[in-house]
Amino acid sequence: MSFSTAGSGPSAPQMNVTPLIDVLLVLLIIFMLVVIQEKPKGFDAQIPQEPNPKDHSVPPPDRTIIIQVKDGKTPDHPDIRINDETVAWSHLHQRLVDIFAIRVERIAFVKADDDIDFEQVANVIDVTHSARIDRIGLLHDESASAQHHR
């Protein structure tokens, strides 16, 4: 049973879009699943591990470089010490370059007093990066943190 329109002649072919819509919906679902499955990845962090109780008999190596940021005379420029040596802010970069010129391990640690702004610590970290130190660790005072937890 068919019906005819006014006029004679064959009817024009029409495209069936139902399968195209089905394919489009399947692709949309696949792309939604792919986006959901992708987890954003941040920086790779190296978390400090608890010390092994057996290792307490071994003294720490003397080649560890600790940059200490201490409360100074002015809040803009706290005192800087590399191990036991006091260093001026203006000489910090060159002193780090000199220390690490002959070292194979390019690792340093930054330790700051509790009342130091993190901006100053970030400035020290920036200087250490510019001195081409590969790895920088942050240290905290265990005795001060133990007092805070009581």
DSSP string over 28-42: HHHHHHHHHHPPP--
Predicted pLDDT at 121: 87
CB atoms within 10 A of CB 81: 14
Please list, in sequence order, all residues whose beta carbon lies within 8 angstroms of the beta carbon of residue 117, skipping any fewer than 6 positions away.
Answer: 75
In whole angstroms, what separates CA 82 from the centre of its chain? 24
Predicted pLDDT at 9: 65
Mean pLDDT taken over the chain: 78
Q: What's the chain's Rg over C-alpha atoms?
A: 33
The letter for the amino acid at 67 is I
- For the segment 48-104, what is each residue's pLDDT rounded down to a tens digit? 777 666 655 544 445 688 999 888 777 667 889 998 888 888 889 999 998 888 888
Residue with tokens 């803009």: 76
Query: Where are the domains positioned within the chain?
Result: 62-149
Rounded distance between C-alpha atoms, residue 8 and residue 66, angstroms: 96
pTM score, whole prediction: 0.53
Average pLDDT over every residue of 122-139: 89
Nearest partner of 92 among 123, 118, 119, 127, judged by Cα: 127
- 68 neighbors 112 (Cβ within 8 angstroms): yes
Predicted pLDDT at 146: 46
Average pLDDT over every residue of 35-56: 71
- The CATH class that applies to domain 62-149 reads alpha beta
DSSP string over 90-127: GGHHHHHHHHHTS-S--EEEEEE-TTS-HHHHHHHHHH
Rounded distance between C-alpha atoms, residue 29 and residue 135, angstroms: 44
